[in-house]
Amino acid sequence: MYKVVFLLSSSLLLLTSCQFGNSENDSKLTSLLEADALYISNEEDLMLENEYYNALIEVKRLYPEDLEEVIVLSNEDIVSIEKELLVKTYPTLLLIDRNEIIAKIEGQNEKTTIINKISDYIETK
């Protein structure tokens, strides 16, 4: 009898702790999706990263009201939610509208290409 009670209690405790981890990930994801954009870096190729940073600075100058909050993260920051964000290539810029990812720019891109893609997103928003 004690074994059954112990086994059930242990199982319940294990299941409850697993649920808590998912809740924490959901909360983190929800919080991140409130931004206008997420920039995710693996910090390995600074020249490649530089194109994105320069493009973001230029877009912020061109559209100061439309891209107010950009959150910069490393790939280590998003390990627990990487699958939900569908990030496989770095760097990645996710453009967000109403808590939904609506555009993704990833990998090697020139500054002008990044600016054009972000501008297209802003102008159709």
Ranges assigned E (strand) in the chain: 37-41, 70-74, 92-97, 100-106
* CA angle 89–83–99, rounded 5-degree value: 95
Taking only the tens place, the pLDDT of each residue in 5-38 is 343 444 434 444 444 345 666 777 888 889 999 9
Q: 24 near 84, Cβ under 8 Å?
A: no
Spell out the domains of the chain, with CATH numbers in brackets.
33-124 (3.40.30.10)
Q: 114 near 55, Cβ under 8 Å?
A: yes
Taking only the tens place, the pLDDT of each residue in 75-90 is 888 888 878 888 889 9
pLDDT, position 1: 54
